[in-house]
Amino acid sequence: MTFVVRSVEPQTEGAKAFLAKRRKQLFIGGAWVDAAGGDTFPTKDPATGVVLADIAKGGAADVDAAVAAARKAFDGGEWPSLTPMQRSRLLWTLADLIEANIDELAELETLDQGKPLYVGRWAEIPGAVNQFRYYAGLATAIEGRTIDSSINYQPASKQVASWTLREPVGVVAAIVPWNSPLVLTAMKLAPALAAGCTVVLKPAEDTSLTAVRLAELVQQAGFPAGVLNLITGLGGEAGAALAAHPDVDKVAFTGSTPTGRAILDAAKGNLKKVSLELGGKSPVVILPDADLDLAIPGAANAIFFNAGQVCVAGSRLYAHRSIYDRVVEGVAAQARGLQLGHGLDPATHMGPLVSRKQADRVAGFVAGAAAAGAEVLTGGVQGGDEGTFVTPAVVARVTPDMAIVREEVFGPVVVVQAYDEIDEVVAAANDSEYGLAASIWTESLSHAHRLSRRIKAGTVWINCHSMYDNSLPIGGVKASGWGRDSGQVALDGYLEWKTVCAVV
């Protein structure tokens, strides 16, 4: 693939002003500071290779300082004395500030990550706003219970009273990935703050810009010092130090399954709580009675949205043999019709991969499958000025043991397979270490209900894919993680139960 990526400059004054200050600092204890070692690393536009900013390279000493600031803010000072209503108001104020700067944030996300502008502007940044508003509402609805116990001990003129309290977990390490930085940050930060926790945020090294801007907005909103602390840096250094830190009470992580396992190992030192939203290899199952005018573009969007850099991407497509040819031809046509380019170019449907390393990895999966005997119907070609683009690929004639079928590619690559019987496709869909999500395409309500129960996944969509709402839990089973983001259940993950039993 040979094409020249047209560089597009940001249009908002906010993004221009933010990028004009080249050096980005850490945010610790309410102050902007350089990393202890003074080191920085560049963050680049993945489409062009242009350096956007120099990011502070935080290390273990900076993590220590950030955790100490978070601990101080949690244990004393203004934050623990705020009422739930006051926390709610701060979250509402932050949501309003994000919304007021939505165009700037969308541009920064596109420049840093590569996604088309419309993805951030109309989906992900509004999603972050809604997360903060949703948990602002829940901040005043945290309740314990009065329990009528069966304790027999009853001293004269006394009685036993029992109740429970909900209390914040403490200091939270929020470690977020590079594919959807701001909205995934909001999924950790909003419930943690609503619960009354303090947070040390570690964004992915490839996409730190919107995290820095968010910390500025947190400061502007009036949150007390130390409630949010930002450590930018490398995952193997700052991220590892944060996950293992003895004064962190919980790690909330979204990312790959191998990194999730490493975090579990690091967390065992002080038995800190851990929530993990990890990898996926999500099946898309199209039944013979499906509305193909809906299912074909739906299946294509399930894998090619955000260049396939989505944890729930529908990367395994199963179509009934009676409709297989039409489905495969349709999805391949959708892939060929996507315009690749810079995310700020209005003509762009799909941007680059986040980095050359990621593009090499994705293209390598396709080449490896072809060498093993698979048929690449379209795509899988790497190119662009920086080699960060990979054309959307549809791969057929695969076998269940191929790496492209079993491993998370995290790119615009879908493998297509035919099936004959329902039991056969259920077994194939479940034949994976992952269990994050799945979608079923059918006009039969009975089939939809039955299959949604049989497929092992944290989320099952019917006649849609990647549909989200703040009230709906997100997370997986098997190697796709522990715990949930979003919804009431996510707030519960940042709260402890305390039992009180009194003779009164």
β-pair type (393-396, 375-378):
antiparallel
Least Cα distance to 304 among 353, 259, 258, 261 occurs for 353
**CB atoms closer than 10 angstroms to residue 407:** 16
**Cβ atoms 415, 398 nearer than 8 A:** yes
Residues contacting residue 20 through CB under 8 Å, at least 6 positions apart: none
**Cβ atoms 167, 221 nearer than 8 A:** no
Instruction: Evaluate the CA torsion angle 266, 271, 277, 282 in order and state its sign.
Output: positive
**Cβ atoms 248, 271 nearer than 8 A:** no
d(CA 61, CA 38): 12
Least Cα distance to 29 among 167, 243, 231 occurs for 231
How deeply is 467 buried, as exposed, middle or buried, from its count of CB atoms within 10 A (0-12, 13-18, 19+)? Answer: exposed
Least Cα distance to 113 among 184, 65, 63, 174 occurs for 184
**Cβ atoms 35, 58 nearer than 8 A:** yes
CB crowding 454-464: b at 16 or more within 10 Å, else e:
bbbbbbbbbbe
Tokens 């395994």 correspond to what residue? 316
d(CA 456, CA 461): 12
Length, in residues, of the chain = 504
- Pairs from 485-491 (Cβ < 8 Å, separation ≥ 24): 485/184, 485/187, 485/188, 485/254, 485/275, 485/277, 486/131, 486/187, 488/138, 490/187, 490/191, 491/135, 491/138, 491/142, 491/191, 491/194, 491/195
**Catalytic residue (choose from 124, 205, 277, 408):** 277
| Strand ranges in 57-124 using DSSP code E only, listed in sequence order | none
**Cβ atoms 286, 326 nearer than 8 A:** no
d(CA 18, CA 370): 44
Active site residue 277: yes
The token pair at 393 is 């690929």
Instruction: Evaluate the CA torsion angle 180, 71, 269, 245 in order and state its sign.
Output: positive
Q: Which amino acid is at 347?
A: A
Catalytic sites, residue numbers = 277
